[in-house]
Structure 1
């Protein structure tokens, strides 16, 4: 399998870290192009050259994302070479996402991206909500619903606790609410700040740790925490990858992600696989958490998020049961071998000519 994507030195470092803990990553040929300048962003000169070379002899192209010229070019080259392809939008076509820079996206759909989507053999949605939210676009392509997953091998031997004592020694034995994701507006950091403010005084033994790279919302979150007088209770630790990420998940008391929009969060899956009870928003489109009793699915109202957190913090027996339920949910439904099998069945089931499992596939990605 080949992957084509842009990414600078930072992405190379992350890939090196991931290779040490993510199984089978060494079996992938990754064509990692330098971060694009303005000319490359518009014309995809380097991307086009690489795609033409990689797609020679390919039998299927799996496009991840929507709004990047590299992806539109991958679809165009695939059509020219008569190679079938699918598009996996990762939530980029739902109502909330389409409202962001709405005029630019309407123009983009008119001038090339609708064709990219409608000419796909299928659109791969991550959940039933995402599939439903595609309907207003009236795309010609059918859709499949296949979620994200995890490798169980990553979670068989979890690291020992003690990460936060090591990283934040001044917090002592406090319990931790962990947010682990990009610091972006859609992740609901402002909601989380207000929710934690509601409960902070009731739980002096519980601090909030926010982990993740800045996606534009860090400064606003820091300001909000200062205004709420919670600077000594909220800790930003930056991005965590590989072993550090697992250590943080193991060390936390619960995981919270009050997103305004998600395709299908791998961070939630990883938290569940580590046995963490989770508090997530209904906009995460993961109702199975509630059905499996692995956590709380709440509205985007800070009081509701606070209530979900309080319930877990108040009842350690229930929290432990939620953690076990989450582990079971992941084992039974959300492992990459299961997801891969479903995806291959999608390739072969929708295509008019069955494609052997051993044939070459190419994955084109937007920004990682």
Structure 2
């Protein structure tokens, strides 16, 4: 099959969907398909995106069609994007759109529809109840101006978990929902390398342990909740610090203000974004991974943490109940006290932490790998085409 993926940007700082597109495309290439990706990515973004994807198997087989970073006019009109889309969609068998609120996706859906090419949409959590409440009037307007039709004309909506599929029901979309999760390439996690370079990078002594948060520094990721939770953890586990890794997406200043107010700034370290070997070293070195998010579609960071053998503490809004059922960590409500208690339970019991890490790695390697996931996407394309 000739498969075309479309996403608005490849910039890694924008979060998980960018990493997902590169990996699902590569996995489909592994299955022998002709896979193309359309996106905006200027020279700087392209270099960064390709560098962070260096360990992905079959990455070099993906056919990239990249436009310069979109200026304000292009973001609205998608004039250059439309020309590229028309060219790449020739002889395509299926189009896979990633995201929602971008003109390049609307244009791609329109051109696919006119050409009689089936397509699906992966919202990546952008259509659940919490997300639709953010800037709600803009999203209602966008739906009325074409985005609802984009969704309704799709052959199916690709949800990342069953909770996400249910949380989209209020939209009343008469489109099949297909649940396919994200995953990992086992090859990326076979050798993590020494933890020492990461510890040296952030000045963390070998005798100190740390809880790791690794995601965008955005309000929805629950950094404020984590700050209050770690205030409790810090007094109960004096040898444990908090490491916060990720690009600032508007929440860093508030987080630092809370940390200073609580008087725990000497126990908290910010690293900025981590990619490649540094990310894997950090995940492998962490005593526990924590993501108390207010909303997730399917977090790659949680899956990667488990693949590295780290026990995880996540919120129920991460929609990853398998963590609990597989005893790979704890799923907590969005409350600092509950998050703190779950973290302390892991940090004070080495045997439990080790067992959780082993269970998590087994869960991921047996159920959440890209070759399996790619096969499910291909089956869905053929079923609904």
| Distance (Å, rounded) in 2 between the aligned partners of 1:94 and 1:26 | 34
Q: Alignment partner of 1:232: what SS? A: helix
| Distance (Å, rounded) in 2 between the aligned partners of 1:283 and 1:165 | 31
| Distance (Å, rounded) in 2 between the aligned partners of 1:23 and 1:14 | 18
Instruction: Please tell me whether residue 108 in structure 1 is matched to residue 142 in structure 2.
Output: yes
- How far the C-alpha of 1:35 sits from its partner, in A, is 1.9
Alignment RMSD = 1.1
| Distance (Å, rounded) in 2 between the aligned partners of 1:8 and 1:309 | 41
Q: Where do 4+ consecutive residues of structure 1 move more than 4 Å?
A: none
| Distance (Å, rounded) in 1 between the aligned partners of 2:168 and 2:213 | 29
The answer to which of 252-261 and 26-35 deviates more is 26-35
- How far the C-alpha of 1:222 sits from its partner, in A, is 1.2
Instruction: Please tell me whether residue 158 in structure 1 is matched to residue 192 in structure 2.
Output: yes
Decide whether the 8 Å contact of 1:21 with 1:243 is kept in 2. no
Q: Alignment partner of 2:266: what SS? A: coil
Instruction: Please tell me whether residue 120 in structure 1 is matched to residue 154 in structure 2.
Output: yes
| Distance (Å, rounded) in 1 between the aligned partners of 2:316 and 2:180 | 19
Decide whether the 8 Å contact of 1:14 with 1:241 is kept in 2. no
Equivalent residue for 2:353, pick from 299, 307, 319: 319
Q: Which residue of 2 aligns with 1:61?
A: 95
TM-score of the superposed pair, with normalisation by structure 2 = 0.89
Instruction: Please tell me whether residue 211 in structure 1 is matched to residue 267 in structure 2.
Output: no
Give 5+ residue unaligned stretches, structure 1: 352-368
Q: Which residue of 2 aligns with 1:13?
A: 47
Instruction: Please tell me whether residue 226 in structure 1 is matched to residue 260 in structure 2.
Output: yes
Decide whether the 8 Å contact of 2:236 with 2:344 is kept in 1. no
- How far the C-alpha of 1:20 sits from its partner, in A, is 2.2
Q: Quick one: higher RCO (CA 8 Å, sep 6+), 1 or 2?
A: 1
Equivalent residue for 2:118, pick from 84, 95, 98: 84
Superposed CA offset, 1:156-182 (max 9, x none): 122122134311225452101000000
Instruction: Please tell me whether residue 146 in structure 1 is matched to residue 184 in structure 2.
Output: no
- How far the C-alpha of 1:220 sits from its partner, in A, is 1.0
| Distance (Å, rounded) in 2 between the aligned partners of 1:315 and 1:10 | 45
| Distance (Å, rounded) in 1 between the aligned partners of 2:113 and 2:235 | 59
| Distance (Å, rounded) in 2 between the aligned partners of 1:129 and 1:64 | 18
| Distance (Å, rounded) in 1 between the aligned partners of 2:120 and 2:61 | 22
Superposed CA offset, 1:235-284 (max 9, x none): 00000011111111111111000000000000000000000000000000
Decide whether the 8 Å contact of 1:60 with 1:83 is kept in 2. yes
Superposed CA offset, 1:87-109 (max 9, x none): 00010000000000100000111
| Distance (Å, rounded) in 2 between the aligned partners of 1:292 and 1:306 | 21
**Aligned pairs, number:** 351
